[in-house]
């Protein structure tokens, strides 16, 4: 579903260059749960941004099925991010003055969806993540774990082909982190979602079909014993 070829990202500051990674080639297969692990600063977030077309590589190419993201114009990139990719961040980036259901609706409304249809779909997603009882409450009043589950529902609003999750449990206590991790795994399984999850949490990484480790600008793959 997603393929990277010789992917390189270099940041420049004046005369200085910082090579985040160089020459990465890998595939993300449809329906697969892939964990992306590595130390802070290894480039996991940068790599997810390239897969989501939130940034562009210095060299190399990202393919969505057989389409080159580099050939998308601004409108096509926007549609790709809105309709094909769901993204869950370490920080939820919800709108605190809006209710849970209104936050979940946002991707559909941005994409031009009808208000009442979007509200009904958002309500169903909140049921799916176990938050139907807080649908009308402002998200600023919710706990951290509840906010992250709202963010997960929002990411699924437009039925994306791929869910990218960047340290989704990183700011949560152990109990909330476990609940969110179990929910992500369940949604992956029930919906057949293609899931790429960057995490420091090795317990969460071990739930994946395979892990990709990013270190020193290189990517290595590990198959989880007993999965295949």
Which residues partner with 26 through β-bridges? 4
The pLDDT of residue 223? 62
Q: Is the backbone of residue 39 left (phi > 0), alpha (psi -120 to 50) or beta?
A: beta
For residue 54, the 8-state DSSP code is S
pLDDT lower than 50: segments of the chain? 226-228
| Other CB atoms within 10 Å distance of the CB of residue 79 | 14
The pLDDT of residue 172? 87
pLDDT tens digit sequence for 1-36: 999 999 999 998 888 899 999 999 999 999 999 999
| CATH number 3.40.50.1100 is the correct assignment for the domain at 29-46+81-222 | no
pLDDT tens digit sequence for 95-119: 999 999 999 999 999 989 999 999 9
What is the reported pTM? 0.90
**14: which residues sit within 8 A by CB, 6+ positions away?**
none
**166-169 long-range contacts, Cβ below 8 Å, gap at least 24?**
166/44, 166/45, 166/48, 166/87, 166/88, 166/89, 166/90, 166/198, 167/89, 167/90, 167/198, 167/199, 167/200, 168/88, 168/89, 168/90, 168/197, 168/199, 169/199, 169/201, 169/204
Paired tokens of 160: 């994306």
């Amino acid at each position: 579903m997603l393929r990277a070829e010789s992917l390189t990202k270099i940041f420049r500051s004046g005369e200085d260059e910082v090579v985040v990674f160089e020459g990465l080639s890998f595939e993300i297969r449809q329906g697969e749960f892939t964990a992306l692990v590595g130390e802070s600063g290894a480039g996991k977030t940068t790599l997810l941004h390239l897969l989501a077309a939130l940034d562009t590589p210095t060299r190399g190419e990202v393919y969505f099925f057989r389409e080159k993201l580099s050939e998308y114009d601004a409108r096509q990139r926007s549609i790709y991010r809105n309709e094909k990719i769901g993204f869950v961040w370490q920080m939820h980036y919800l709108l605190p003055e809006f209710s849970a259901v209104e936050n979940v609706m946002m991707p559909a409304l941005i994409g031009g969806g009808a208000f009442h249809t979007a509200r009904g779909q958002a309500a169903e997603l909140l049921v799916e993540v176990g938050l139907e009882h807080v649908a009308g409450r402002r998200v600023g009043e919710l706990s951290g774990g509840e906010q992250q589950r709202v963010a997960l529902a929002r990411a699924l609003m437009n039925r994306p082909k791929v869910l990218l999750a960047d340290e989704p449990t990183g700011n949560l206590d152990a109990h909330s982190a476990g609940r969110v991790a179990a929910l992500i795994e369940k949604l992956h399984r029930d919906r057949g979602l293609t899931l790429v999850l960057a995490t420091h949490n090795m317990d969460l990484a071990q739930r994946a079909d395979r892990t990709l480790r990013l270190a020193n600008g290189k990517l290595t793959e590990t198959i989880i014993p007993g999965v295949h």
